Amino acid sequence: MTRPLVRTKLPGPRSAAILQRAHRWLPEALQVTFPTVIERAEGALVYDVDGNRFIDLAGGIGCLAVGHAHPKVVRAIQEQAEHFTHTDYTVIPYEVYVSLAERLARTVPGPSPKKVALFNSGAEAVENAVKIARASLGRPALVAFEGGFHGRTYMAMTLTSKVDPYKRHFGPFVPEVYRVPFPYVYRSPFPTPEETTAYCLRRLEELFTLQVEPERVAAVVVEPVQGEGGFIVPPPEFLPRLREVCDRYGILLIVDEVQTGFGRTGRMWAVEHFGVEPDLLVAAKSIAAGLPLSAVIGRAEIMDRVHPSGIGGTYVGNPLACAAALAVLDVFEEERLVERAARIGECLTRAFLEIQRRSPYVGDVRGLGAMVAMEFVASRDTKEPAPHLVTRVLRRAMEGGVLLLRAGIYGNVIRVLTPLVITDAQLLEAVEVIERAVAEAHHPLPEEAS
């Protein structure tokens, strides 16, 4: 028999007081996921100002592959701060930027020589990848996918394919962005993954016939695994065939690895699972353990087609963030975190499949490496999305000491973005809490009953 959760009352008094101040001074748009205020954190553990301890499976929305406050990263930031904190690389250059670019370029698959430009955020890197692609080919149009997420600045938001909360009331959007289906096998009307892939690629070819000639398309922008869209893993043949289509028409392939990169899928980059070399790869999140940093890593001949000073920015490639990123790469090598991600994924997949076996509300379990998710439905027959069940599970898991995130175009997916340094004991404890939270999901929350 499943044991009930031992519940923590949230928010605690100190958190409640701080959140009340936030209500007074911050806009309502900054809605918080967890009603508790962090005081300190280490590894995969977070402690709030009221003394509560949580296992963090949200990981700063995937920014903390090496965990909170990793000592090696902290030391690197401190040592860099003692030397200098800012110049703007294009005004007074510094070696730490060059060293990071060199190391990042060597991680990206494919035989082509690579070059690297650094930015602040994933969205900013997406924007600049688009600029590079357009400048390289002299073409205006872009193709993106249904369910994709690429950020919240205007070009990135236009590429993003979910209205609420990302696009409502924010139009008009950037022109010359076209959209086609992504192979979402669980919700596909076709019986096999191969037929789903064929349909999506057929729609892409139809797009070139009905809406925009391929000679006007600069790039196709794709996540190798859709993140905010619900951890949608495409069939293995999809990305190679997409690469073939791009090559046929001279279109660049921009791979958005903001969420999938840095070991999350059990490879350094998710495209390695599919044997594809991107023309431009976008990285951010775990690149610098949560410090603002992102990168566009691309084929050198493409990166060099942009005119001098055509890309850049005041804060891009900040030396503190670069130092942190170099330390992150050291930690990945020393602690073998890519291999660790694969083992975490195996553990989570086994546990989630067992939860699915017990619960009629878990319609699908999917993922790649440590990027694992469960999709909740009201009925496995109809596959009707059940976001209210996700709300209940997240709440009960949080009260049980585990922090989780939702995802999915219908908000009915629970995803795991745990720090890859999580211990086996912490992972087992988290899984047990999730199991009990799902078992209780058919009971309404107090506010639902009222």
Residue 15's alpha-carbon distances to 23, 153, 372, in angstroms, are: 12, 31, 30
Query: What confidence tens digit (pLDDT) does each residue in 366-403 have?
Result: 999 999 999 999 999 999 999 999 999 999 999 999 99
Query: What confidence tens digit (pLDDT) does each residue in 164-193 have?
Result: 999 999 999 999 999 999 999 999 999 999
> Is 70 exceeded by the pLDDT of residue 213?
yes
Secondary element (H or E) of residue 281: strand 280-283
Q: Could you give all domains of the chain from N- to C-terminal order, each with its CATH number? A: 13-62+336-449 (3.90.1150.10), 71-335 (3.40.640.10)
pTM over 0.85: yes
- DSSP for residue 249: H
Residue whose C-alpha is closest to residue 361's, from 392, 331, 335 = 392
Q: How confident is the model at residue 1 (pLDDT cuts 50, 70, 90)?
A: very low
Q: How confident is the model at residue 445 (pLDDT cuts 50, 70, 90)?
A: confident
pLDDT of residue 27: 96
Is pLDDT larger for residue 1 or for residue 26? Answer: 26
> Is 60 exceeded by the pLDDT of residue 3?
no
Query: What confidence tens digit (pLDDT) does each residue in 126-171 have?
Result: 999 999 999 999 999 999 999 999 999 999 999 999 999 999 999 9
Provide the 10 A C-beta neighbour count for residue 79: 12
